Amino acid sequence: MDFSRYNAAEQAQIQAMVEQKQMKDFLKMYQNLVERCFNDCVSDFSSKAVSTKEQTCITRCFGKILGASERVGERFSELNQQMMMGQQQ
Amino acid sequence: MDFSRYNAAEQAQIQAMVEQKQMKDFLKMYQNLVERCFNDCVSDFSSKAVSTKEQTCITRCFGKILGASERVGERFSELNQQMMMGQQQ
Amino acid sequence: MDFSRYNAAEQAQIQAMVEQKQMKDFLKMYQNLVERCFNDCVSDFSSKAVSTKEQTCITRCFGKILGASERVGERFSELNQQMMMGQQQ
Amino acid sequence: MAMWGGGFGAGSQAVNPQNIAVAEQELEMVTDLFNRISNVCYNKCIPPKYAEDTLNKGESVCIDRCVAKFMDVNLKISELLQKRGQEGGGGVPGVPAATS
Amino acid sequence: MAMWGGGFGAGSQAVNPQNIAVAEQELEMVTDLFNRISNVCYNKCIPPKYAEDTLNKGESVCIDRCVAKFMDVNLKISELLQKRGQEGGGGVPGVPAATS
Amino acid sequence: MAMWGGGFGAGSQAVNPQNIAVAEQELEMVTDLFNRISNVCYNKCIPPKYAEDTLNKGESVCIDRCVAKFMDVNLKISELLQKRGQEGGGGVPGVPAATS
């Protein structure tokens, strides 16, 4: 996203807004991650302890989600860049 | 919804609020539409191009959602109207 | 949650914020409850009247959700309490 | 949000923030209800086959009944909730108490 | 929220709240799009078997294509919407009119 | 929202907006966690058969364990995230950088 059309005072406010939004989105991403991995890995409620098998699943689920999120981020940025280039021509 | 019990200054603020909310809701509706039609129509990732079959599905999905949304809106308004009539008696 | 580290003026603001949030969360809980019970209990659209069977299902669904929500609340509070104790040691 | 609070030029009338907050909540509830109904009734009535791009007869009728039923259930549950609220101490659970 | 509105020290330049609101909305849309793509493409490409803790080759390629396809569909639907908007009276439904 | 910022009558003490923002975020996180647990554990423990209107024994025990397990998983994942954060450059992905 390109905010260069705004003046410096506005850019400062926008920058603060972006940072606050990133913080909020990071929290939400974390909460979604917990919910998803719990749903995918835990379905035995015969005990209240997390089993070794469940723990392994959660660690892998965590890795998969971060990996996927990173990869989506790369492609997303590239495609956005391309689209903005396309618009300027 | 009936805001006639408020004074003119308040109604002006409420009106502005309603418009902002409609804008926001329209955007959300659009984003849900994209997500829904993608989920329902795209499941082949052997290529990154959208196929003709997928494209047809998306066009129809788009039409169905707008049609359904319009129809729900009509019924919803009617029923709300009836309920408000009922309350006044 | 423990807000005793803040001064009285701040606590008053936080208290008001908590109350507003509880109100909002209560509304959201209610809306989720309606959606859930409708989804679980209503699937016959050969008539626009809610049948006796559906009505019974909805009453029970309502009871189950409130019961579950209450129980989750109890456990959640206990475990939070324990975690805060653990942190202070 | 930042736009509220002045300059709406309705002469000398005073705006009561309480009224605005109530109206905001009412608006929030009605639009939330509409959005939920749209979504739920789409799921219940429109199979994702997409053989054409408009609602067919069966889908249209289903939507009409679904909307009526949803609003009926909404009302019924609000009655159950009120009954529960009157009956008993504290009654309605929500978010557990959050301040010390 | 409470932090806006002063003290950002960018000299004497005036801040146009309209500009801030537009930027906020743009930001909102881009992050929402990103979050939806992440979620949808995770569902489409990563089976919950979790045999290892990194993306394998097939999953990676699937994600790449899924992102491209989603953005393409996003564009196509915005075109459909624009076409519909031009064609016809009122066209685009949304929340039903809420004030009297 | 519009109600903050004055008139709470706690004498001459100053309100630090930063503190309020931190408290707001804490509150947000705790209620979000509670809402997610309620929802997930309802899905895991209460089959939609609805043979009676209260929790039966099996459902009650399931809820107790589900809550404990969820909070445990929540803790474990926050540890994984911290470990990842320490290990490596940038580490945690989120929303892609949004300003120029």
Cβ within 8 Å of E, F 69-98: 95-96, 98
- Tell me what pLDDT residue D75 has: 96
For residue C11, give the nearest of F11, E4, D1, D94 by alpha carbon: F11
Q: What is the dihedral of CA F59, F61, F63, F69, to 10 degrees?
A: -140
- Hey, what long-range contacts does D70-75 have (CB within 8 A, 24 or more apart)? D70/C34, D70/C38, D70/C42, D70/D36, D70/D37, D70/D40, D70/D41, D71/B76, D71/B79, D71/B83, D71/D37, D72/C49, D72/C50, D73/C34, D73/C37, D73/C38, D73/C41, D73/C42, D73/C50, D73/C58, D74/C34, D74/D33
In chain D, which residue's Cα lies nearest the Cα of C33? D77
In this structure, is residue F12 part of a structural domain? no
In chain D, where does DSSP find H-type helix? Answer: 17-45, 57-87
F66 touches chain A (CB under 8 A): yes
> Does position E32 have pLDDT exceeding 70, yes or no?
yes
> Does position F66 have pLDDT exceeding 50, yes or no?
yes
Q: Which CATH number covers residue D49?
A: 1.10.287.810
> Does position F46 have pLDDT exceeding 80, yes or no?
yes
In contact, B69 and D67? CB cutoff 8 Å: no
> Does position F90 have pLDDT exceeding 60, yes or no?
no
Q: Which CATH number covers residue A48?
A: 1.10.287.810
In contact, C45 and D45? CB cutoff 8 Å: yes
In this structure, is residue B2 part of a structural domain? no
Of C82 and E61, more confident: E61
Q: What confidence tens digit (pLDDT) does each residue in B70-88 have?
A: 999 999 999 999 888 887 6
pLDDT band at D30 (very low <50, low <70, confident <90, very high): very high
pLDDT band at F95 (very low <50, low <70, confident <90, very high): very low
- Tell me what pLDDT residue A88 has: 64
- pLDDT over 70 for what percent of chain C? 97
In contact, A69 and F70? CB cutoff 8 Å: no
Residue at token pair 């408290």: F23
- Tell me what pLDDT residue E5 has: 43
* Host domain of residue A36: 8-87
C1 touches chain D (CB under 8 A): yes
pLDDT band at C89 (very low <50, low <70, confident <90, very high): low
- Tell me what pLDDT residue A13 has: 87
In contact, A57 and E50? CB cutoff 8 Å: yes
- Tell me what pLDDT residue D11 has: 52
Tell me the HSE value of B14 on the side-chain side, using a 13 A CA sphere.
28
* Host domain of residue D66: 18-84
Which residues, at least 6 apart from F22, have a Cβ–Cβ distance to it below 8 Å?
none
Longest CA–CA span in chain B (Å) reads 62
In contact, E36 and B31? CB cutoff 8 Å: yes
Q: Do C30 and D78 touch (CB under 8 A)?
A: yes
What's CA A69's distance to the chain center, in Å?
A: 6
For residue F64, give the nearest of A32, A36, D91, A49 by alpha carbon: A49
Q: In this structure, how many other beta carbons lie within 10 angstroms of the beta carbon of residue D86?
A: 8
**Amino acid identity, residue F77?**
I
In this prediction the ipTM stands at: 0.86
In this structure, is residue B21 part of a structural domain? yes
Query: What is the rounded distance in angstroms from the CA atom of residue D20 to the CA atom of residue B17?
Result: 9
For residue A76, give the nearest of E85, E67, B84, E88 by alpha carbon: E67
pLDDT band at D92 (very low <50, low <70, confident <90, very high): very low
| Tokens describing residue D18 | 């309480």
Q: What confidence tens digit (pLDDT) does each residue in E37-78 have?
A: 999 999 999 999 999 999 999 999 999 999 999 999 999 999
Judged by average pLDDT, the poorest of A41-55, D9-23, F85-99 is F85-99
> Does position F27 have pLDDT exceeding 80, yes or no?
yes
What's CA F78's distance to the chain center, in Å?
A: 12
> Does position F10 have pLDDT exceeding 50, yes or no?
no
Residue range C27-43: mean pLDDT, rounded: 96
Coil/strand/helix, residue D50: coil
In this structure, is residue F54 part of a structural domain? yes
Residue range F36-58: mean pLDDT, rounded: 97
| Tokens describing residue C16 | 């008001």
In this structure, is residue B32 part of a structural domain? yes
Kind and range of the H or E run holding C62: helix C52-88
In contact, B66 and E93? CB cutoff 8 Å: yes
Based on the structure, what is the number of domains in chain D? 1
Q: What confidence tens digit (pLDDT) does each residue in B14-58 have?
A: 899 899 898 889 999 999 999 999 999 999 999 999 999 999 999
> Does position E6 have pLDDT exceeding 90, yes or no?
no
> Does position B62 have pLDDT exceeding 50, yes or no?
yes
Based on the structure, what is the number of domains in chain C? 1
In contact, D64 and D86? CB cutoff 8 Å: no
Q: Do F38 and C21 touch (CB under 8 A)?
A: no
In this structure, is residue D10 part of a structural domain? no
- Flag whether D touches C (3+ CB pairs, 8 A cutoff): yes
**Amino acid identity, residue A8?**
A
pLDDT band at F79 (very low <50, low <70, confident <90, very high): very high
Q: What confidence tens digit (pLDDT) does each residue in A15-62 have?
A: 998 998 988 899 999 999 999 999 999 999 999 999 999 999 999 999
In this structure, is residue A3 part of a structural domain? no
Residue range F38-62: mean pLDDT, rounded: 97
In this structure, is residue C60 part of a structural domain? yes
Task: Select from C38, C60, C79, C83 the residue whose CB has the most chain D CBs within 10 Å, as the one to mutate to test that interface.
Answer: C38
Residue range F2-19: mean pLDDT, rounded: 61
In this structure, is residue F2 part of a structural domain? no
Which residues, at least 6 apart from F49, have a Cβ–Cβ distance to it below 8 Å?
none
User: What phi and psi values does residue D29 have, to the nearest 5 degrees?
Assistant: -65, -45
Given F43, F44, F80, which is nearest A59 (Cβ)?
Answer: F80
In chain B, which residue's Cα lies nearest the Cα of E63? B45
